Amino acid sequence: MNLELSPEELAFRDEVRGWLRGALAPALRDKVVNFEKLSKEELMGWNRTLAERGWAAPEWPTEWGGTDWSVVQRFIFEEECAFAGTPPLVPFGLKMCAPVLIRFGTQHQKERFLPRIYRGDDFWCQGYSEPGSGSDLASLKTRAERRGDKYVVNGQKIWTTLAHYADWIFCLVRTDVTVEKKQEGISFLLIDMKTPGITVRPLPLLDGEPEVNEVFFDNVEVPVENLVHEEGKGWTVAKFLLGHERLGTGRIGGSKRELAQLKEIAARLPGDDGRPLSQDRRFADRVARLEIDLQALEITNLRFLDAMRGGKPIGAEANILKIKGTEIQQMLTELMMSAYGPLALPKHAPGAGDGLDEAFAARLAGRYGNYRKTSIYGGSNEIQRNILAKVALGL
């Protein structure tokens, strides 16, 4: 087993680092590391920067713009970007819709959508969850009825992240209500958000920020050419997508950056006795435990990668990365908030004090609350444990 990076991999890491130093504008980086909200333009701008370098979608086949990197190189790249403080790549197009199109799409669909996704021309969102169908996704009810060369879609999606920015949505819809098994009769449709009959209603979360939405479909007409894979085979597509790209869900690079940031904050802020908070035994121990957990996750991830380097496919163990990765992200937000103590209580910077730090402190409690989502979305951590119990333990 090799948990160290090879000389070639290290050289690759240095190349990525060097490029990031020039490509990532300091002002943009500052916004990211200070947890400021990024605009649609800032998110897609970074996508374009990567596209210009040819690094927007390393995991795609080379004919569509992929890089032919090894799994380890892809991991290095993602972690270096996160550690440097790049904006996150919006995953819905690049990492979700595109792999589906590459695997199941027609040549026409690939040519139509992939280059635009690569360049960040279209903003995509994901229409999966419904009010009655969360963990039990296959019970979804949004109906698509075939009428000639169109589907007519009626129903509702919920928790649709950034739908208010989106040009397109990929949806799981029910095309057949007569089937016995709920997993059958589901289809995967691509829908232009400008189609008449679509209403997006923001669903503010506890930090008050617009992020997720409800999306309503009222007799929305979708050309049949926007069906991906066969009608009624949408669940196959959904399962493929769920199993895709589980590496990276640990978000280790981002957590490493935030851990370094937390330590810097703790060295600067006063503890209860006036000495730096980093010298407060209880706080320091909490940070240390988090650092150790993060290290354990990183090595575990490297171990999985090493197995993949040897050509072994990764199994349900990857779900461990999601569970531990999100727990670590949540604990980071909690420790950052608690570092500031009562100063983390204001919702907005009062503006009477020392500027940036005050504005930063005022974001931390909201962020702590918002990050509870990470153990809920993408298959809740309970569902991840169900999968592990079934697949890894045979229970």
Partner 1 sequence: MHFDRNEEQQLLAESLRRWLAGNYGFEQRRAILGSEAGASDTAWSTFAEMGLTALPMPAEAEGFGAGAADLIDVMEAFGEALVVEPYLSTLVAARLVERAGSDAQRTELLPRVASGEARMALAHDEAGQRHGAARIATRATRGADGYTLEGTKRVVMHAPLVDHVVVSARVSGEPGQADGIALFLVAKDAAGVTASPYRSFDDQPAADLRFSGTPAQPLGDTAERAGAGFAALDEALDYGCALACAEAVGAIKYANEATLEYIKTRKQFGVPIGSFQVLQHRAVDMLIEWELARSMAMLACTRIDAAARGTVSADERRRAVSAAKVRISEAARKVSQEAVQLHGGMGLAEELKISHTFRRLTALMLAWGDADHHLARFTGLS
One residue of 9, 377, 378, 392 binding partner 1 per CB under 8 A: 377
Binding status of residue 301 toward partner 1 by CB under 8 A: no
Q: Are 137 and 127 contacting, i.e. CB atoms less than 8 angstroms apart? A: no
Binding status of residue 99 toward partner 1 by CB under 8 A: no
Element holding 198 (H helix, E strand): strand 198-202
Binding status of residue 65 toward partner 1 by CB under 8 A: no
- Give the contacts of 318 (CB within 8 A, at least 6 positions apart): 246, 247, 249, 304
Least distance to partner 1, CB of residue 347, Å: 5
Least distance to partner 1, CB of residue 309, Å: 35
Count of C-beta atoms within a 10 Å radius of residue 239: 12
Can you tell me which residue has the tokens 């032919």?
A: 68
Q: Which of 9, 184, 214, 245 is catalytic?
A: 245
> Which of these ranges, 58-66, 82-90, 251-259, 362-370, lies near partner 1 under the rule CB under 8 A?
362-370
Binding status of residue 355 toward partner 1 by CB under 8 A: no
Q: Is 214 helix (H, G, I), strand (E, B) or coil?
A: strand
One residue of 344, 359, 360, 384 binding partner 1 per CB under 8 A: 344
Task: Report the site for partner 1 in 159-188 (rule: CB under 8 A).
Answer: 159
User: Tokens in use for 17?
Assistant: 């680092």
Binding status of residue 238 toward partner 1 by CB under 8 A: no
Binding status of residue 77 toward partner 1 by CB under 8 A: no
Smallest CA-to-CA distance from 213 within 131, 323, 276 is with 131
One residue of 366, 379, 384, 388 binding partner 1 per CB under 8 A: 366
Which of 133, 175 has the CB closer to partner 1?
A: 133
Phi, psi of 98 (to 5 degrees): -60, -50
> Which of these ranges, 50-58, 116-124, 133-141, 289-297, lies near partner 1 under the rule CB under 8 A?
133-141
Q: Are 240 and 100 contacting, i.e. CB atoms less than 8 angstroms apart? A: yes
- Give the contacts of 391 (CB within 8 A, at least 6 positions apart): 315, 316
According to DSSP, residue 313 is labeled P
Which of 166, 365 has the CB closer to partner 1?
A: 365
C-alpha dist (Å) from residue 346 to 147, 211, 268, 269, 333: 54, 21, 20, 17, 16
Element holding 291 (H helix, E strand): helix 281-309
> Is 245 an active-site residue?
yes
One residue of 49, 365, 379, 388 binding partner 1 per CB under 8 A: 365
> Which of these ranges, 42-50, 85-93, 110-118, 203-211, lies near partner 1 under the rule CB under 8 A?
203-211
DSSP state letters, 71-102: HHHHHHHHHHHHHHTPPPPPHIIIIIIHHHHH
Size of the site for partner 1 (CB under 8 A): 56
Task: Report the site for partner 1 in 259-298 (rule: CB under 8 A).
Answer: 269-274, 277, 280, 282-283, 286
Least distance to partner 1, CB of residue 23, Å: 34
User: Tokens in use for 246?
Assistant: 């589980």
Q: Which residues are catalytic?
A: 245
Residues of this chain that bind partner 1 (CB under 8 A)? 129, 132-136, 139, 158-159, 203-206, 208, 212, 269-274, 277, 280, 282-283, 286, 337-338, 341-354, 365-366, 368-370, 372-373, 375-377, 380-382, 385
